[in-house]
Copies of this chain bind each other. A is one copy, B any other.
Amino acid sequence: MARLGAEEIEERLSRLDGWSRQGEALVREQRSTDFLGSVEFVNRIAPVAEDMGHHPDLAISWDTVTVTITTHSEGGLTDKDFTLAERIDALS
């Protein structure tokens, strides 16, 4: 799993919905109706993350979940990060 180059990162980022690059991570904020909506969104991400063996950081603050994805072992963004982001997009 190699780190992606800057050009490929830009290209793949442009195809995602609502994600931004923050340093070596992909970040997206998902708004829900309330706290339980946020917990439900986390529960929908969990099986996807388990299936991929790739786990985002998830921060719940009331009606918002901030999803942060990176490949720690590579110290940067890889194909797996974008695939996880795409699968999370498909949930919402």
- The reply to whether the CB of A82 lies closer than 8 angstroms to some CB of chain B is no
Give the interface segment out of A7-15, A20-28, A36-44, A83-91. A36-44
Q: CA of A59 to CA of B58 in the docked complex: distance in angstroms? A: 6
Residues of A whose CB lies within 8 Å of any CB of B are 35-36, 39, 42-43, 46, 49-50, 55, 57-62
Q: CA of A39 to CA of B59 in the docked complex: distance in angstroms? A: 11
- CB contacts (< 8 Å) of A50 on chain B: these are 35-36
Q: CA of A43 to CA of B62 in the docked complex: distance in angstroms? A: 14
- CB contacts (< 8 Å) of A46 on chain B: these are 35-36, 39
- Interface hub of A59, A60, A61, A62 (most chain B Cβ within 10 A): A60
- Identify 16 residue pairs between A and B in the complex whose beta-carbon atoms are under 8 Å apart, listed by A's number: A35-B49, A35-B50, A35-B55, A36-B46, A39-B42, A39-B43, A39-B46, A42-B42, A42-B60, A55-B62, A57-B59, A57-B60, A57-B61, A58-B59, A58-B60, A59-B60
